[in-house]
Amino acid sequence: MNEHDKTRPASSAQLAVFGGEPRFEEVKHVGRPNIGDREAFLARMRGVLDSMWLTNDGPLVREFEARIADTLGVRNCITMCNGTVALEIAIRALGLQGEVIVPAFTFVATAHALQWQEITPVFCDVDPTTHVIDPGRIERHITPRTTGILGVHIWGFPCDTAALEVIAERNDLRLLFDAAHAFGCLHRGTPIGNFGDAAVLSFHATKFLNAFEGGAVVTNDDALAERIKLMRNFGFVDFDQVTYLGTNGKMAEPAAAMGLTNLDALDEFVEHNRQVFDRYRRVLEGLPGVRLVEPASLNGWNYQYVVLDVNAEAAGLTRDELVAVLWAENVRARRYFYPGVHRMEPYRSVYPHSHLLLPETERLVRRTMVLPTGTSVSVEDADVIGGILAQALDGAGEVRRALERREVHT
Ligand SMILES: *Cc1c(COP(=O)(O)O)cnc(C)c1O
The three state secondary structure string of the chain is: CCHHHHECCCCCCCCHHHCCCCCECCCEECCCCCCCCHHHHHHHHHHHHHHCCCCCCCHHHHHHHHHHHHHHCCCEEEEECCHHHHHHHHHHHCCCCCEEEEECCCCCHHHHHHHCCCCEEEEECECCCCCCECHHHCHHHCCCCEEEEEEECHHHCCCCHHHHHHHHHHCCCEEEEECCCCCCCEECCEECCCCCCEEEEECCCCCCCCCCCCEEEEECCHHHHHHHHHHHECCEEECCEECCCCCECCCCHHHHHHHHHHHHCHHHHHHHHHHHHHHHHHHHCCCCCEEEECCCCCCCCCCCCEEEEECHHHHCCCHHHHHHHHHHCCEECECCCCCCHHHCCCHHHHCCCHHHHCHHHHHHHHHEEEECCCCCCCHHHHHHHHHHHHHHHHCHHHHHHHHHHHHHHC
Taking the centre of ligand 1 as the mean of its atom positions, its distance from the CA of residue 106, in whole angstroms, is 9
User: With a 6 A CB cut-off, is 202 part of the ligand 1 pocket?
Assistant: yes
Quick one: pLDDT at residue 240? Answer: 87
Q: What is the pLDDT of residues 276-319, one digit of tens each?
A: 999 999 999 999 999 999 999 999 999 999 999 999 999 999 99
Quick one: pLDDT at residue 5? Answer: 46
Q: Which of 80, 84, 126 is the best mutation target for the ligand 1 pocket, counting ligand atoms within 8 Å of the beta carbon and taking the most?
A: 84
Task: Tell me the percentage of the chain whose pLDDT exceeds 70.
Answer: 96
* pLDDT values of the chain reduced to their tens digit, one per residue, 410 residues: 344 445 655 555 699 999 999 999 999 999 899 999 999 999 999 999 999 999 999 999 999 999 999 999 999 999 999 999 999 999 999 999 999 999 999 999 999 999 999 999 999 999 999 999 999 999 999 999 999 999 999 999 999 999 999 999 999 999 999 999 999 999 999 999 999 999 999 999 999 999 999 999 999 999 999 999 999 999 888 888 888 889 999 999 999 999 999 999 999 999 999 999 999 999 999 999 999 999 999 999 999 999 999 999 999 999 999 999 999 999 999 999 999 999 999 999 999 999 999 999 999 999 999 999 999 999 999 999 999 999 999 999 999 999 999 877 65
Specify the ligand 1 atom closest to the Cα of 87: 10
User: With a 6 A CB cut-off, is 83 part of the ligand 1 pocket?
Assistant: yes
Taking the centre of ligand 1 as the mean of its atom positions, its distance from the CA of residue 180, in whole angstroms, is 5
Q: Which of 115, 133, 157, 204 is the best mutation target for the ligand 1 pocket, counting ligand atoms within 8 Å of the beta carbon and taking the most?
A: 204
Q: Which of 85, 126, 200, 202 is the best mutation target for the ligand 1 pocket, counting ligand atoms within 8 Å of the beta carbon and taking the most?
A: 202
pTM: 0.95
Taking the centre of ligand 1 as the mean of its atom positions, its distance from the CA of residue 385, in whole angstroms, is 27
Q: Which of 154, 178, 370 is the best mutation target for the ligand 1 pocket, counting ligand atoms within 8 Å of the beta carbon and taking the most?
A: 178
Taking the centre of ligand 1 as the mean of its atom positions, its distance from the CA of residue 127, in whole angstroms, is 21
User: With a 6 A CB cut-off, is 178 part of the ligand 1 pocket?
Assistant: yes
User: With a 6 A CB cut-off, is 391 part of the ligand 1 pocket?
Assistant: no
